[in-house]
Amino acid sequence: MRPVDAVRIVIFGAGGLGRETLQTACEQRAAGQAIEILGFVVDPGVQCPAKVSGFPVYRDPTIFAADATVQFVVAIGSPALRARVAARIVQLAGPRFASIVHPGCVIGRSVAIGNGSIILQSASITTDVRIGRHAVINPQASIAHDCILEDFVSISPAVTLTGGVYVEEGSDIGAGVTVIPRQRIGRWSILGAGTVVLAPVLPNTTVVGVPARTIASRPAGWHDRDEQNGWQPCRA
């Protein structure tokens, strides 16, 4: 029998991030946290087995909408798609989101983590850091003092954000990126893997290289105009 105060979660997305989120939730449970994992939800149109990693896969998110004890985690890598799916969940069930944080992370006592965020194994977040809603922080990311990450930010593995970096909404920071102190990463920007940021990054741009240089720009609001509206595909 589950504990009366257990957090009951459903994971939207059964791809790689979904399975990593499941593993993290299982590690939390093994560490003594009261968590009950109900399974995954994927888009009705995708090919996916009936179970992924031993947990059931559902295709109709509305079956959980009326159950006020259920909380949701959007485990989708794309910040833009994650934002749209989160908005759909709010329409279906209200803002009932759980944060998933691996017990093997190093997180300072003065770190604030927004609802719906996912922090995976061996991430390091030091002191006076603010993380918004639905952020994803991958393994071995290092986030130093006084950083601010807004909603829907994605931090890939082995990223280093030195002190006082401000990452605006929806930014997607690739594996191994380094950002020097007190730089600002503009909203809905993309930083390619291995980039070294020595100056502010403009919103809605893609930057790559050492030092970072802009290779693409998109119109403001591009992330809302994308027509990909389904849940995360299953690639189990």
Angstrom distance (rounded) from CA 189 to CA 162: 18
* Contacts for 54 with CB less than 8 Å, ≥ 6 apart: none
Summarised one tens digit per residue, pLDDT across range 189-229 is 999 999 999 999 999 999 999 999 999 999 999 988 754 44
Q: Does residue 137 share a domain with residue 114?
A: yes
pLDDT tens by residue, 10-49: 999 999 999 999 999 999 999 999 999 999 999 887 788 9
Shared domain check, 168 and 108 = yes
Residue 134 is a catalytic residue? no
pTM confidence score = 0.94
Confidence of residue 139 (pLDDT cuts 50, 70, 90): very high
228 within a domain of the structure (yes/no): no
**CATH for 66:** 3.40.50.20
Q: Of residues 102, 134, 145, 223, which has the active-site annotation?
A: 145
Q: What is the pLDDT of residue 2?
A: 47
DSSP 99-157: -EE-TTSEE-TT-EE-TT-EE-TT-EE-SS-EE-TT-EE-TT-EE-TT-EE-TT-EE-T
Domain boundary among 59, 93, 127: 93
Q: What is the CATH number of the domain that holds 140?
A: 2.160.10.10
Range of the domain at 193: 100-216
Whole-number mean pLDDT of the chain?
A: 93
CA distance 168 to 201: 10
In this structure, the answer to whether residues 52 and 121 fall within a common structural domain is: no
Residues 105 and 44 reside in one and the same domain? no
Regarding whether 125 and 151 lie in a shared domain, the answer is: yes
Across the range 154-169, mean pLDDT stands at: 98
Predicted pLDDT at 128 = 98
